[in-house]
Amino acid sequence: MASRLRLVAPTLGSVPKPGVSGKAEGEREGEAKRPEPPRREVTDLGGGSVVVHVPRFVARDKAWEWFDCLDRTIPWRRPDIRIFGRFGPQPRDMCYVADEGLTDLKYSGHQADAHSWDEFPVLKDILKEVLEALPGSYFNSVLLNRYKTGSDYVSWHADDEALYGPTPEIASVSFGCERDFVLRKKPTKSQATSGSGQAARKRCKVDAPQQQHSFLLKHGSLLVMRGYTQRTAALCSEASQSKLNKDQSDFPACTDLNKTVFFFF
């Protein structure tokens, strides 16, 4: 896999000036050392598409508090959607929350009924933390997905609905068991055309191998997709087994592979 990755200075907290060693500027004797801001990894996908990954975005205890609250209080449902031309249960639970007056969200033959932000104070708390980390950003809705078992998944797709415009910024906050989140370059029109001349469906796998970028979504991580990512890349989180680090033996959610991923649009 070929990719370009670089670390960037975070916008939160203070950063020592280049070449300064020892105490940070302004730090006094006996003064408590400021915690280091979360590390950010930036991947340039090319063509104006960028992904920002913050593996340790939410503090561990707070992440579990939010996970438990969302798992208990969100009115999760599993609607029927169109998969390869047939309707069947969506392979994950979902809930949609949006600003009042926002255009309805429709995907795969399903129209999602929007809840109000005021119904879920915990979502406002999460959104506040995301906005503090992403100055200048604005999000008007959230699509919550819950993967209850290792068999739940979201197949190859792009969040390029007209509702979001040509270059939406999408921030994903993850809680629970780790999962791989994969992006790959979309095929050209000629590649996306089958031998029979019929255009390939948007939400299905492409036969030709494409360049892929994989991100491990840890408990409390943040992943941001910017620019033309939804136009130039397809993304998925396939069914997988639980991933439990040896130093995280207190992961209660991993006993039944619970995983919740939240997309802020």
pLDDT attached to residue 214: 83
Q: Which domains, from first to last, does the chain contain?
A: 35-264 (2.60.120.590)
Burial class (CB in 10 A: 0-12, 13-18, 19+), 69: middle
Question: Position of tokens 């969302």?
Answer: 70
Rounded CA separation 38/50 (Å): 18
Q: What angle do CA 177, 89, 86 make, to 5 degrees?
A: 130
pTM over 0.75: no
115 vs 167 pLDDT, higher one: 115
DSSP string computed for 236-258? EE--------TT-TT-GGGGTT-
Output DSSP code: residue 117. Answer: G
Q: Which amino acid is at 264?
A: F
79 vs 221 pLDDT, higher one: 221
Q: What angle do CA 192, 158, 226 make, to 5 degrees?
A: 120
| Residues 181 and 217: beta-carbon distance below 8 Å | yes
| Residues 23 and 34: beta-carbon distance below 8 Å | no
pLDDT attached to residue 30: 52
Output DSSP code: residue 199. Answer: B
Which residue ranges make up the annotated binding site for 2-oxoglutarate?
145, 147, 157
pLDDT per position as a tens digit, 69-84: 999 999 998 887 777 7
Half-sphere CA count of 156, side-chain side, radius 13 A? 19
27 vs 124 pLDDT, higher one: 124
Which residue ranges make up the annotated binding site?
84-86, 145, 147, 157, 160
Which residue ranges make up the annotated binding site for substrate?
84-86, 160
pLDDT attached to residue 161: 66
pLDDT exceeds 70 at position 45 = yes
Q: Which two tokens stand for residue 215?
A: 């991100």
pLDDT interval class at 171 (50, 70, 90): very high
Say which residues have a Cβ less than 8 Å from residue 6's Cβ, sequence separation at least 6: 41, 42
Question: What are the residues facing 171 on neighbouring strands?
Answer: 224, 264
pLDDT attached to residue 99: 92
pLDDT exceeds 50 at position 3 = no
